[in-house]
Amino acid sequence: MGEQRNQEVGARFEWMRQDLLAVVGGNFYFATPIPLRFRNTNVVAFTRDEQDRLLLETNMLSTSHDPRMTIQENFWVVRGKPVDLECPPNGRLVTADYANGDKLRVEFIPDLTLNALASRYPDADIARWDRAQLPQELAVVEIHMRVGGTEIEFGPRETRLQGNNIMRNCFMAHCGVGVQMG
């Protein structure tokens, strides 16, 4: 039997857009460069390249000292030893699950109209958002993250923090930082 090596696996997301709606833990961030920060670490952030395209950065929160998946300028690298890794060939989704319960899932959904957005997120009450801030069609990046062994989860429909604090369906636009923890 051959030697098993701890190898890094990675690829680049090619869904760089001018306008992007970030959906992090069931909350919505538009034109917000840092939707989520923990202490001095940008957990979810966006920068721009020379062509003014958005580039995604993620840094998984974890209670483990083992390395975790990261995304830097739309290039994802799975570090450590996930028990499950999913990345279909279309390049729009990557998921990494770790034995301690840590999880990161990032999915790009291209070209949603505001009506399609309202259908995808029926509880968000998108009709009440200031639609003048949003283009008629935009790409969405959904980010779900769970910190194993804690109450902290940025799930598909809500954010759960320590002490049963819950956020859901918040819309934030043109903020420097959406949510700052710690």
Each residue of 16-57: pLDDT tens digit? Answer: 666 789 999 999 999 999 999 999 999 999 999 888 888 999
DSSP run (H or E) holding 118: helix 114-120
In degrees to the nearest 10, what's the CA dihedral of 18, 134, 93, 176? 70
Give the pLDDT mean for 168-172.
93
Distance CA 181, CA 1 (A): 46
| pLDDT, averaged across the chain | 88
Note the pTM of the prediction, 2 decimals: 0.87
From 164, 176, 139, 118, select the one nearest 21 (Cα to Cα). Answer: 139
Domain limits, the chain: 15-181
User: Is the per-residue pLDDT at 6 higher than 70?
Assistant: no
